[in-house]
Amino acid sequence: MSKNNHHYSGQNSEGFWERVNRFKGIRHDALYTLGVVLQNLESDVLHKLGLAEEDLIEEIEEGKDE
């Protein structure tokens, strides 16, 4: 299974969010919204990557039995 190396959520994201929070007003709001979208996309991709890796491991293990 893949490691969930999140860069835009959790502790690894602190620098990213500090940068976003330097802005005020509409620019902050837009960057914040895009940051949340980025977090969700990153999470989805890492989840799907983990599932694909699990499938690959199963395929490799099934091939060993032949």
Produce one character per residue of 49-58: b if its CB has 16 or more CB atoms within 10 Å, e if not: eeeeeeeeee
Can you tell me the distance from the alpha carbon of 7 to that of 20, in angstroms, rounded to the nearest whole number? 14
The confidence score (pLDDT) of residue 5 equals: 83
User: Which stretches of the chain score pLDDT less than 70?
Assistant: 1-4, 65-66
DSSP codes joined into one string, 9-63: SSGGGHHHHHHHHT--HHHHHHHHHHHHHHHHHHHHHHHHHHHHHHHHHHHHHHH
Give the pLDDT confidence score for residue 21 in this predicted structure: 98
What pTM, to 2 d.p., does this model score? 0.77
Would you state the pLDDT for residue 65? 61
